[in-house]
Structure 1
């Protein structure tokens, strides 16, 4: 069979000057490239997909829908009117609030460049107002409290409680875990305030931590997990995967997480992107792509996890992520659970944007929270009993990944399908990748500008 090829028009930004420029998504066999030309800085060609699976066929079609509400007008054109503007095609699934710019680490790969002369933390009343305004705009979406490092705030339980009071039922903490390990009682106080889940930075062994975080943190991370599980908070391990650093530890991380299930709910891999404190000449440089992760997981788990298990997302753009829920099986085993999404070999029918966002919100809220057991039943089980047993989240474990776009790989078609939105201090909602986008000289598109932390 001949290798596939093709070119699909889109728009992007120059990674040097952030000028909006025409671009194309170029297919070369199983690989995908973003190719763009700036009249001042020339052509850039960056591989963002390194199959198999091939980029062609990896698709979950979406029917775009304007997000409610439209908070900004479209005047300058995408991506300069974010808020969300009428050009956006997806509803909010997760609203991310940065509640501090301070941090107790200085990670070389920090997308927020946290700790560099940070502004004062917003006070709880101001945050309460922001939570209420965003809830009024989006309804009960999932919330992630981020930073900086949120646990440097002594009033973090009050912040969590204010978020819950605004109406948000799924509140997750994005954290490096240092404070949770140092003060085991903190997890209990956060659970009492209404925290549901912890998105725990977890990059592998101490060697990986030294490169990505500046020091050996493996045992600290384990202590943070223990504290959260003991407080009945669901834990998701979140490795930042960098080539030549920890891309050979994918299987080890999954096996560790599986050994700590069901308290650990799964692993969410994030290939490192060229923004924040970690810009590099990413055009010609090697990247860890989503297919690299799929194949790496298959190779490093001896086929327990297989690339063919994974399916494109039903919420964000198909090229942004993959996922698969598993059943916990035996002593350390995983068995694929049925999903509404399908693999690249069997594309499902198109899904409306609002329905995809709703399903994604519900799945995350159910799967990443603390585990629940199925109702116990004595005697024979009928089909409904078996359905309830399968639905018990205590039996489930999820492996997923999301590839963030940077100034080299930015594709505005993908961006308009984003469902993870940063809530700004002036109550706008900006797609995550655009909020954190960094030019080669460190200039930002949104972060640090008016209304943005």
Structure 2
């Protein structure tokens, strides 16, 4: 609403958010056309333009993937992210969570799994992002433990259950105005590298000299990298050298802005609830009473958690009006979409020109 009514004010507001410490924006984006993304198809081009002008350069696109609705548009979503890679850093595909009472045939119609999403992306990117490019999110723990062993500082670990999510990094290579995708697994022997890192971590934990282990890592790491198959303008070895030898983590910033992260995380519902997954959750809600509740516990068992918490801490309508005024709700804050005006804009036309 603010964007459509006063773009300059929207830009100023976004700058204020950035200065206040907001460095990443998660945005719903279910597809590249009107049918697959009726939610914000028309507004997305203008929103991205505001982010550009405000210096908000870390946007994550979050498609909710539904079989028979938008599962045929996943490759285009990746291409859309590539075309906007000056500000889009990642895509987090989320298989739909099915809530409420649904007949079995309806659940089968709409249900989609992580392996199916990965297979669709492979098919819709002409086999460039292969299914074996993806690894469980917990794979990152290997890197966390190596850094911890080298630096002596405790590191954050994403030790999710393997069924909760998967991810990959890709480089975008432009040829004749079209994006092509180079996943890490095309030019790095990731499984060999992970095993090598685990061995070195064990050596460090057993008391090996950090300097010599670091030198061994640098000496051997090239064996796992096939430069000929990788991006021509980015040196992965150089980045790893800066991190391991110089402890220069600014190199990770360059990595972050040079690659596109593709992730997928399947939030559960009552039809596929798994206690083992909940026990290893790494996304939590903190409630005002100090409890820390796993995401899929809070939202799926909502009678026990979410609805109960919201009811306990909600503000009555009359109190809200007294505090924020009559213009803080109702028609005063509603956004009324004008499809014809939005589609006339050059920003809209150029954003979707290739889709």
TM-score tier by shorter-chain length is 0.5 to 0.7
Distance 1:336 1:186, change over 3 A: same
Deviations 1:296-343 (A, max 9, x none): 000011112111100011121110100001223234222123689759
* Residue 170 of structure 2 is aligned to residue 311 of structure 1: no
Tell me the equivalent position of 1:335: 182
Tell me the equivalent position of 1:427: 290
Q: Deviation at 1:231?
A: 2.3
> Whole-Å Cα distance in 1 between the matches of residues 260 and 121 of structure 2?
15
1:196 corresponds to which of 13, 18, 23: 23
1:258 corresponds to which of 70, 77, 82: 82
Deviations 1:251-310 (A, max 9, x none): 0111011111031002110011023xx653468722110001000000011112111100
> Whole-Å Cα distance in 2 between the matches of residues 245 and 296 of structure 1?
13
The 8 Å contact of residues 173 and 180 in structure 2, kept in 1 or not, is answered as yes
* Residue 300 of structure 2 is aligned to residue 437 of structure 1: yes
**Number of residue equivalences:** 239
Secondary structure of the equivalent of 1:218? coil
Secondary structure of the equivalent of 1:270? strand
Secondary structure of the equivalent of 2:163? helix
Tell me the equivalent position of 1:109: none
Secondary structure of the equivalent of 2:307? coil
Distance 1:425 1:247, change over 3 A: same
Q: Deviation at 1:428?
A: 1.2
* Residue 183 of structure 2 is aligned to residue 183 of structure 1: no
TM-score (norm 1): 0.47
The 8 Å contact of residues 98 and 107 in structure 2, kept in 1 or not, is answered as no
> Whole-Å Cα distance in 1 between the matches of residues 113 and 239 of structure 2?
40
The gaps in structure 1 that reach 5 residues or longer are 1-103, 105-150, 152-176, 352-380
Tell me the equivalent position of 2:215: none
Pairing 1:331-410 to 2, within 5 Å after superposition: 331=175, 332-337=179-184, 342=191, 384=238, 391=252, 392=254, 393-410=256-273
TM-score (norm 2): 0.59
Secondary structure of the equivalent of 1:329? strand
* Residue 96 of structure 2 is aligned to residue 249 of structure 1: no
Indicate the RMSD between aligned Cα atoms, in angstroms: 3.7
Pairing 1:13-412 to 2, within 5 Å after superposition: 183-204=10-31, 205-210=33-38, 213=39, 217-233=40-56, 234-275=58-99, 280-281=102-103, 285-286=107-108, 287-314=111-138, 315=158, 316-331=160-175, 332-337=179-184, 342=191, 384=238, 391=252, 392=254, 393-412=256-275
The gaps in structure 2 that reach 5 residues or longer are 139-157, 202-234, 243-249, 314-355
Distance 1:312 1:386, change over 3 A: closer
The 8 Å contact of residues 312 and 342 in structure 1, kept in 2 or not, is answered as no
* Residue 307 of structure 2 is aligned to residue 448 of structure 1: yes
Secondary structure of the equivalent of 2:269? coil
Deviations 1:26-50 (A, max 9, x none): xxxxxxxxxxxxxxxxxxxxxxxxx
Distance 1:382 1:244, change over 3 A: closer
* More divergent stretch after superposition (191-200 vs 387-396): 387-396
Secondary structure of the equivalent of 1:280? coil
> Whole-Å Cα distance in 2 between the matches of residues 433 and 417 of structure 1?
11
Secondary structure of the equivalent of 1:322? strand
Secondary structure of the equivalent of 1:305? coil
> Whole-Å Cα distance in 2 between the matches of residues 416 and 437 of structure 1?
14
Q: Deviation at 1:444?
A: 2.4
Secondary structure of the equivalent of 1:285? helix
